[in-house]
Amino acid sequence: MTFEEADRLSSGPQAQFLLDLMPRFPIYVDLLPEAARAVIGQPHVEGAGAYRLLLAEGFTYGRVVDVFDAGPLVSARRDQLETVRRSRVLRARAGAGQTRALVSAGEAASFRVTLTHVGAEDGLGAIVIAPEALRALDVTEGDPVMVREI
């Protein structure tokens, strides 16, 4: 079956499908053909760019691989991520700015992020953000936003 079909079947109520495919005993990697061993823990060619981006952001490969393609699974502590470390929480103020930034608001299901222009921080914990970005984020002046200049 195709990867897309297997991926669809492995989520939701059909997840038992994946468990049924898993071996009941450890896989001895040393007994696999060299061609298989060579790709374990390696990203697919089409995902290599995304993998490098995640590593640059602060994710690490902990020698755990994906069940479908044996590609690397990465993880990170949120506070170690470059975007989080370089972000500041400020109060939103409507206006025009010159600096490109990622601006986000909300959490979990209400999380929103946009690429926009911001002004300089005013020294009082507020930052100017384009009005259309405030609408896209569903925030009003004075609401907290997370800002990462890029």
pTM of the predicted model as reported, rounded to 2 decimal places: 0.70
Q: How many CB atoms lie within 10 A of CB 123?
A: 6
User: Which pLDDT score is estimated for 43?
Assistant: 93
28 and 45 part of one domain: yes
User: pLDDT tier at 66 (50, 70, 90 boundaries)?
Assistant: confident
Q: Of 62, 79, 96, which residue sits at a domain end? A: 79
Neighbour tally for 101: CB within 10 Å: 23
Segments forming the whole domain that contains residue 109: 86-149
What pLDDT score was predicted for residue 46?
A: 87
Which is catalytic among the residues 44, 91, 112, 117? Answer: 44
One domain, residues 93 and 63: no
CATH of the domain at 108: 2.40.40.20
Model pLDDT for residues 84-124, shown as the tens digit of each residue: 999 999 999 999 999 999 999 999 999 999 999 999 888 89
Boundary residue ending a domain (28, 58, 79)? 79
In the chain, how many domains are there? 2
Q: Nearest 5°: phi and psi at 127? A: -140, 140
Residue 19 has what pLDDT?
73
- Collect all residues with Cβ–Cβ distance below 8 Å to 139 and sequence separation of at least 6: 92, 105, 145
Q: Is the pLDDT of residue 33 over 90?
A: yes
What average pLDDT does range 64-82 have in this prediction?
91
Measured distance CA(145)–CA(54) in Å, rounded: 23
44 labelled catalytic: yes
User: Is 133 exposed, middle or buried (CB count within 10 Å of its CB: 0-12, 13-18, 19+)?
Assistant: buried
* Tens digit of each residue's pLDDT (9 = 90 or more) over 43-60: 988 889 999 999 999 999
- Whether residues 143 and 120 share a domain: the answer is yes
